[in-house]
Amino acid sequence: MKTEFADYINAKLGSNLAIEYAHVYDVINVSFPEVIEGPALTITVTDDDLTVSVMATESDYNTDLLEEHILGFLEVQAS
């Protein structure tokens, strides 16, 4: 996911965002340190489902767009 998602979202946004990941058990925090302070999105993994939550609700950056693209990426990877 580390390199593939970065390539995917940067192609979709026409950008070159730096992306950081922190993984603890079944939770992955996704950060975009150049534009959002702290974790922007959290992916929670269970045996049956993946859930994406927006953590940076107070950000000026369009976190809904980031969420949309990570969901699109996960759907492509799952199919």
The domain locations on the chain are 2-78
How far, in Å, CA of 61 to CA of 36, rounded? Answer: 7
R_g (Cα) of the chain, nearest Å: 12
- Is 66 in contact with 32 (CB distance < 8 Å)? yes
Identity of residue 61:
Y
pLDDT (mean) for 22-47? 90
Virtual torsion, Cα 17, 70, 24, 45, nearest 10 deg: -170
pLDDT at position 27: 92
pLDDT at position 74: 87
How far, in Å, CA of 74 to CA of 76, rounded? Answer: 5
pLDDT (mean) for 55-76? 87
User: For residue range 25-36, what is the model confidence (pLDDT) as tens digits?
Assistant: 899 999 999 888
Confidence of residue 44 (pLDDT cuts 50, 70, 90): very high
pTM of the model: 0.83
